[in-house]
Amino acid sequence: MKKLSLLFLSLFVLLFSFDSNAQKFDKKINELSSNYESDIIELRHWFHQNAELSNREFKTAERIANELRKIGLKPQTGIAKTGVVAVLKGGKPGPVVALRADIDGLPVKERADLPWKSEMIGEYNGENVPVMHACGHDTHTAILLGTAKILYELKDKIPGTIKFIFQPAEEGAPSGEEGGAELMVKEGVLTNPDVDAIFGLHIWSQIGAGQVFVRPKGIMAAVNEFRIDIEGVQTHGSTPWTGIDPIVTASQMINSIQTIVSRSMPLTEAAAVVTIGSIHGGVRSNIIPESLYMLGTIRTLDEGMKKIVLKRLEEIVQNVAEANNAKAKLKYMVSYPITFNDPELYEKMLPSLKRINGSSNVNSMNAITGAEDFSFFQEKVPGMYFFIGGAKKGTDPAKAAPHHTPDFYVDDSAMITGLKSMTTLALDYLNKN
């Protein structure tokens, strides 16, 4: 009984000690976040104005490395082609936590009228294209640099090690190349020192600034991108019976593919999406082409449902092609696992998000069918991924332009939420463990 009492007393002392330390850290985090807010906004503007495509983030990586050196860290560059990694060792022994930001832009022409709008040009699929941070990765990068700055100031009091991961190619590596989180994991970014847990965030244009959204288990969908090549027989458009029409075959295939979700999925259990987003074939109105190809994406939140979708897609592609005397080939290109928040880590760290942001600002959410290659990190170590609001206070978030569009915009006022959240999660995790 005496031993049990001592155990409870020890636990009480530990919890009281953690709460006291957390409150001291919170005061310092709030103070330093306010001090550095203008600095990270300035950095965000630079990254936005100098947006670069996946695996081509050369200027971006150079600026990140220079900023880390200014802080006092020693960055490693060239990780997974253009990634940057830095390690901060605290003043006391303890576990290792990783914080991740993605750094690449998209082939989108910006329409927002900003003094720091992007005018960058890059090469995508062999063509010169405009480049824009149409998904907010510029804010993620600046937030993580700000987080590194704050944590460096507190390093003597940190019980453990923090690894800052600036990841390229989240939007997908160029055709024929490796990249992103999958390549970073393959190159050992979660080792030396071995990472015990990882945190990441994403800004969201259609949530009000200051708000945080999170959930346990699956938060974003698995993705399987695919290409379908259809081969027919070319002929004159006036005599279609003398050829084999890949366009008609494709149209029948698309209609049948849409029944996979509507007729084969138990949608009360989880969402699923199959989309054909691109068709390429033909050059003239009066020529039935010899071939065409289509590009599509699959999004699933349940592993069993994913297997059914893949099986049905294969059956439809082959059977519809055969019914039209055509040949078809299905090829998978990019595949991401489900972005899965470790339930135990979520329960342990949710109070940290609520404490630093205010409980009323931290919201539960449904899983979404967007996808994130942060999931490759979560396959190896427990991870937690969350969203912060990007819509300016006083505006209607529902009217904000969605991600990956020319009018996409997130307000600078949103960034301090990310800064405080990432810093607090890192410190609390190390202190609790």
Using DSSP, state whether 281 is helix, strand or coil: coil
Residue corresponding to tokens 């998209």? 106
Q: Round to whole Å and give the CA distance between 136 and 143.
A: 11
CA distances from 135 to 96, 186, 303, 345, 412 (A): 29, 25, 27, 26, 14
Q: How many CA atoms lie within 13 A of 299 on its CB side?
A: 17
Which H or E run contains 32?
helix 2-49
Q: Round to whole Å and give the CA distance between 71 and 280.
A: 49
Considering the candidates 67, 110, 138, 170, report the single residue annotated as catalytic: 170
- Which DSSP string do the residues of 340-365 spell out, in sequence order? EE-HHHHHHHHHHHHHHH-GGGEEE-
Residues 270 and 264: beta-carbon distance below 8 Å: no
Residues 323 and 251: beta-carbon distance below 8 Å: no
> β-strand 362-364 against 212-214: which pairing, if any?
parallel
Considering the candidates 26, 102, 104, 411, report the single residue annotated as catalytic: 104
Question: Tell me, what DSSP letter sits at residue 201?
Answer: E
Q: Round to whole Å and give the CA distance between 218 and 385.
A: 10
72-107 in b/e form (b: 16+ CB < 10 A) is ebebeeebbbbbbbbbbebeeebbbbbbbbbbbbbb
Residue 170 known to be catalytic:
yes
What amino acid positions are annotated as catalytic residues?
A: 104, 170
